[in-house]
């Protein structure tokens, strides 16, 4: 028995309305779920990176306070010494503010434990630091310097080591979160696929029913053939447009995921690899060096005088300076060498496949000369220096942490002995 014309029109109306509503709802639910997953990933990565940046800042401030203490213990002029003490206390205030920001972020139990341990050590360090200042103010310069070298600096190094543990733990957490994020994206993609499949299947089922009823109506009403053909054509065009939109959205999501990965692995200011990516690349280079039996060198670099320029001209000009310095460093390296920005004004380089150790010395001299060249920022001529610490694989270590620690320690010695130079670790 065939449907009459009124029932057929009613059936067609509700059928196509169901298809459109179901398709729209399926895509809205799927894309909202993917968007939520992506937002969650962005928030987690931003939080982790902020915590790492806070700890890098604390680490840098701790080193600067030690440098100020060395200046205090060696300064004979009381007025100059008081000025340095004021700078020392200012750094302490920045240290406390940064630590409060770190504590206010979302930390897990292990991170809180590391911070508590670091805080207990920091209390003893502060007492030792004030003793250095007190001895210097009383004119006991030798005792002040001896106490600094014997007690304060070793304790501070232990404190910095805990900060490094925190940073390393955060990097491991980032790896774990990245893997979890990948799983969530896969799960969300499966959900979108299932919703799309259900939508297409429902469309096919409804289309089959519609075609059957249209065929029945054609036997009774030949005049409705043209109308039915037009309806089928519109349905095909709507389906084609829907497929095009889905394809475009998929490409947009793929591009967003690629950009997200790049932001997670690179410094947003200079575009250089960040500390986490450098850790992966350096570990890979160490494995290659071990298999091919060649040497490589790690250069730990810190800019001399950057803070003064940054304070005088502002952070915007400081950022321009950092970008220019990054370009200078990168242009002085070979294509196969690695360069990364660790944070602040610290950079690092992996110089691979060394033929002669003297090549590293020559590279250090080239980098120092290149960085020391004057530049103009906002019509101000600026000039900074570069302190470099060097470690060799396998002479100074066979893993990332050891090589970075030796290079960092050597750079620190350069800072103490006059800056704008380089020193190979021992």
Whether the CB-CB separation of 409 and 375 falls below 8 Å is answered with: no
Q: How many CB atoms lie within 10 A of CB 32?
A: 11
Going by the DSSP 8-state scheme, the letter that residue 269 receives in this structure is T
DSSP 285-312: HHHHHHHHT-EEEEEEEEEESHHHHHHH
Query: Per-residue pLDDT tens for 6-36?
Result: 666 676 667 667 777 777 876 687 677 667 7
Q: Up-side HSE of residue 61: CA atoms within 13 Å toward CB?
A: 21
Burial level of 375, CB count in 10 A (0-12/13-18/19+)?
A: middle
Higher pLDDT, 120 or 296: 296
Query: Per-residue pLDDT tens for 154-167?
Result: 877 887 887 788 78
Which of 92-96, 198-202, 252-256, 326-330 shows the lowest per-residue confidence on average (mean pLDDT)?
Answer: 252-256
Q: Nearest CA to 282 among 359, 337, 362?
A: 337
- When pLDDT is averaged across residues 120-135 and rounded to a whole number, the result is 80
End-to-end CA distance of the chain: 97
pLDDT at 367: 97
Q: Nearest CA to 62 among 136, 134, 138, 167?
A: 167
- The residue count of the chain comes to 426
List, in sequence order, every residue forming a beta bridge with 295; answer none if it has no partner.
Answer: 354
pLDDT at 374: 94
pLDDT at 52 over 60: yes
Can you give the residue ranges of every domain in the chain?
1-265, 275-424
pLDDT at 338: 96
CA separation, residue 297 to residues 66, 271, 327, 331 (Å): 27, 22, 20, 18
Whole-prediction pTM: 0.44
pLDDT at 258: 63
Q: How many CB atoms lie within 10 A of CB 194?
A: 12
Burial level of 171, CB count in 10 A (0-12/13-18/19+)?
A: middle
pLDDT at 322: 96
Which of 79-88, 367-376, 382-391 shows the lowest per-residue confidence on average (mean pLDDT)?
Answer: 79-88
Handedness of CA 311, 312, 313, 314 (dihedral sign): positive
Residue 95 structure tokens: 């240290």
Q: Nearest CA to 156 among 74, 21, 250, 59?
A: 59
CATH code reported for the domain at 1-265: 1.20.120.1730
The reply to whether 1-265 and 275-424 are identical in fold is: no
Which of 232-241, 261-270, 305-314 shows the lowest per-residue confidence on average (mean pLDDT)?
Answer: 232-241
pLDDT at 2: 44
pLDDT at 349 over 90: yes
Choose the CATH number for 275-424 among 3.30.70.270, 1.10.3720.10, 3.20.20.100, 3.40.50.300. 3.30.70.270
Query: Per-residue pLDDT tens for 188-247?
Result: 777 767 767 777 777 788 668 767 766 766 576 677 778 888 878 887 787 777 777 767
């Amino acid at each position: 028995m065939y449907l009459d014309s009124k029932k057929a029109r009613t059936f067609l109306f509700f059928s196509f309305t169901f298809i459109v509503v179901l398709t729209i709802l399926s895509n809205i639910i799927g894309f909202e779920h993917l968007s939520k997953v992506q937002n969650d990933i962005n928030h987690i990565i931003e939080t982790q990176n902020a915590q790492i940046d806070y700890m890098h800042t604390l680490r840098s401030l701790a080193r600067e306070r030690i440098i100020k203490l060395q200046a205090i213990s060696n300064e004979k002029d009381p007025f100059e010494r008081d000025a340095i003490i004021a700078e020392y206390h200012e750094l302490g205030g920045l240290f406390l503010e940064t630590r409060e920001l770190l504590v206010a972020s979302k930390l897990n139990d292990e991170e809180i434990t590391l911070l508590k341990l670091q805080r207990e050590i920091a209390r003893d360090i502060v007492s030792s630091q004030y003793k250095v200042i007190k001895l210097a103010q009383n004119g006991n310069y030798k005792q002040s310097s001896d106490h600094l070298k014997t007690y304060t600096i070793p304790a501070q190094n232990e404190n910095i080591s805990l900060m490094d543990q925190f940073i390393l733990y955060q990097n491991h957490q980032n790896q774990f979160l990245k893997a979890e994020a990948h799983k969530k994206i896969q799960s969300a993609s499966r959900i979108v696929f299932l919703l799309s499949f259900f939508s297409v299947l429902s469309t096919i089922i409804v289309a089959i029913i519609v075609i059957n009823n249209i065929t029945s109506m054609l036997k009774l009403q030949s005049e409705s053939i043209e109308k039915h053909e037009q309806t089928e054509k519109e349905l095909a065009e709507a389906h084609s447009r829907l497929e095009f939109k889905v394809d475009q959205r998929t490409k947009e999501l793929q591009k967003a995921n690629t950009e997200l990965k790049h932001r997670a692995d690179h410094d947003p200011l200079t575009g250089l690899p960040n500390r986490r990516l450098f850790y992966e690349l350096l570990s890979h280079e160490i494995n290659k060096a071990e298999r091919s039996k060649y040497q490589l060198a790690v250069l730990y670099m810190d800019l001399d005088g950057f803070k003064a320029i940054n304070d005088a001209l502002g952070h915007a000009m400081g950022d321009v300076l950092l970008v220019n310095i990054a370009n200078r460093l990168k242009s002085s390296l070979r294509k196969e060498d690695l360069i990364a920005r660790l944070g602040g004004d610290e950079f690092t380089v992996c110089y691979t496949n060394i033929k002669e150790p003297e090549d590293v010395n020559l590279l250090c001299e080239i980098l120092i000369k290149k960085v020391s060249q004057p530049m103009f920022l906002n019509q101000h001529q600026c000039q900074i220096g570069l302190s470099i610490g060097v470690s060799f694989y396998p002479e100074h270590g066979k893993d990332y942490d050891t090589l970075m620690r030796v290079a960092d320690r050597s750079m620190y010695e350069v800072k103490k002995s006059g800056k704008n130079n380089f020193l190979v670790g021992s």
